[in-house]
Amino acid sequence: MFDDREPKVPKIPHAPAGSQVKNKTGSWRDQRPVVNESACIKCGLCALHCPDGAIEITEDGVHIDYDYCKGCLICSNVCPVKAIAHAREEK
């Protein structure tokens, strides 16, 4: 009578960092995240929580696509080792 299988939850589409999406939104920000590569442990929490998909973790380090980063600084708030600071955007 009851369907005991797990409910299927649709995945939310997520554009990878550096994707060629039109309408770049980086010009909105007044603060930008700045990664201290020597302190970063590459845990990936910043990329996981970035609402814009603007962060990518690679073997070379953390790459922030500033064309799409809106400067919300969620990445800085979730970093467990406080390796992401913020700086005033220079326009």
Name the CATH architecture for the domain at 26-88. Answer: 2-Layer Sandwich (3.30)
**Strand-pair partners of 34:** 85
pTM, two decimals, is 0.71
What does the domain layout of the chain look like in residue ranges? Answer: 26-88
| Beta bridge mates, 62 | 57
Q: How does pLDDT run across 45-87, given as a tens digit for each residue?
A: 999 999 989 999 988 889 999 999 999 999 999 999 999 999 9
> What is the pLDDT confidence band of residue 18, given thresholds at 50, 70 and 90?
low
